Amino acid sequence: MKHFIFCLLLAFLATATFSKILCASTRIYGFIFDAGIFIISATTAHILITIARHFMPKKNIQDLDKKAVFITGCDSGFGHMCAKRLDALGVTVYAGCLFPEGAGAAQLKAAASSRLHIVPLDVTRDEDVRKAVEYVKQTIGDKKFWCVLNNAGILSDLLLEHNSMDAVRKVMEVNALGTVSVTQSFLPLLGDESGRVVCVVSIFGRVAIPFCVPYCMSKHAALAYVQGLRRELQLTSSGVTVHGIEPSVYRTPLSDSEIRIAQIKKQLAGSPEDIQKKVNELYIEKYKLFYRRAVKFTSNPNENEVVDCMIDAAIGSTPKPCYRPNVRCLVEGWLLKWIPTAVVDWALTTAARILASDLLDTRS
């Protein structure tokens, strides 16, 4: 952080000096001119330093063989990949799996060393979380419990009117309350001197998009938890640091259309009759086409970008408070800060209308 602030100051001074020289020929002086130079210089300096840090090589902390990390959501996707990579680096990994006897857990067992533990875990069940904490206490030995990494998440991507309250509640329980439950339960193991809390949230925790509102709600809550916990731990002078990772859309099992349609059908089976009438077989077939189209145009196939961030946040020597895996995510974050809400509304609804035109026709 100190190095970042120092580089930011140098970049600001350099940009301000360059701007002054560039504008020296103008005759606009005084407070307005200086304020404009300050804003432009500060913004430019921050952008340059952030992009530079994104591409700088990462270093890990020492004594990884003496560290232990707990990861949720390791059945597939980011959590699965992260567990394998941390194990390969010598870290003792506790991989929380919703299906401990499933294919994902079996693959982890086959690919990893004996340091990796498969831990049964449904983050919405307090008893599962309590048993996971006890299991770590009993098996960690002389290792230092270093990091709890919250990765478990589910998707809800129908229109709001097609989501039952049970479906909305489930997404909130997994993505937001599950993160809180796991973190609060493992915080005592981290202690006060050192350690890390890492949460995979989403860029959609900063903006709500059509067809994905419950998911965005849950990630917004999780993001607020990350920011609030980080500041409270700083307030109490704790040595534990908190880090959020904000990816956009990646081609994980969450974005697989066949898996997603199966999940939607399961969700609808327990929904009220009026919702089931609206979301009929024709609607679902149109939805599948829309979903494939949306994934094709918006998703990123390079899952390792996110896993790299997870690794750096968990064991990097200079972790960042907030990670956005690529330049696109960085730009999206800046745009959401500065573009007027009306413009964001127009852009997102227009894009959704184009991608979901057939689906919206079915609805009408």
Does 79 score more than 80 pLDDT? yes
Q: Would you say residue 271 lies in a domain?
A: no
Token pair in block for residue 174: 């997994």
**What is residue 286's predicted lDDT score, i.e. its pLDDT?**
83
What dihedral angle (degrees, nearest 10) is formed by the CA atoms of 144, 95, 114, 252? -130
Judge contact between 69 and 96, C-beta under 8 A. no
Q: How confident is the model at residue 260 (pLDDT cuts 50, 70, 90)?
A: confident
d(Cα 75, Cα 103) in Å, to the nearest integer?
A: 8
The answer to whether residue 290 is domain-embedded is no
Compute the mean pLDDT over every residue in the chain, rounded to the nearest whole number: 85
For residues 9 and 146, membership in a common domain is answered with no
76 and 19 co-located in one domain: no
Stretch among 38-47, 51-60, 71-80 having the lowest mean pLDDT: 38-47
Q: Is residue 345 part of a domain?
A: no
| 266 lies in some domain | no
The 8-class DSSP code of residue 316 comes to B
Same domain, 177 and 28: no
111 and 72 share one domain: yes
CATH of the domain at 307: 3.40.50.720
- Give a yes or no: residue 94 inside a domain: yes
> Which one of 215, 250, 287, 323 is the catalytic residue?
215
Res 162: pLDDT: 85
Q: For residue 5, what pLDDT band results from cuts at 50, 70 and 90?
A: low
- For the sheet with 67-71, list strands across it: 117-120, 92-97, 67-71, 144-150, 195-200, 240-245, 322-323
Query: Structurally, how many domains does the chain consist of?
Result: 2
Which pLDDT does position 47 carry in this prediction? 57
Among this protein's residues, is 215 annotated catalytic? yes
Tokens 């904490």, residue located: 133
**Is residue 280 in some structural domain?**
no
What pTM did the predictor assign? 0.82
144 lies in the same domain as 188 = yes
Same domain, 35 and 100: no
Q: pLDDT tens across 225-258, in order?
A: 999 999 999 999 889 999 999 998 888 777 777 8
**What is the per-residue pLDDT for 361?**
67
| C-alpha–C-alpha distance, residues 200 and 180, integer Å | 12
* 24 contacts: CB under 8 Å, gap ≥ 6: none
Q: Are residues 162 and 31 in the same domain?
A: no
User: Residues 174, 220: one domain?
Assistant: yes
Q: What angle do CA 353, 332, 321 make, to 5 degrees?
A: 140
For residue 33, give its domain range: 2-55
Q: Which of 26-40, 52-66, 327-341 has the lowest mean pLDDT?
A: 26-40
Domain-terminating residue out of 10, 31, 55: 55
pLDDT at 92 over 60: yes
* Res. 142: pLDDT tops 90: yes
On whether both 188 and 68 belong to a single domain, the answer is: yes
Residues 232 and 325 in one domain: yes
pLDDT tens by residue, 268-325: 877 888 888 888 888 888 888 888 888 787 778 889 999 999 999 999 999 999 999 8
Both 94 and 7 in one domain: the answer is no
Q: What is the pLDDT of residue 67?
A: 96
Domain membership flag for residue 144:
yes
In a shared domain, residues 68 and 156: yes
In a domain, 349, yes or no: no
pLDDT digits (tens, 9 = 90+) for 276-289: 888 888 888 888 88
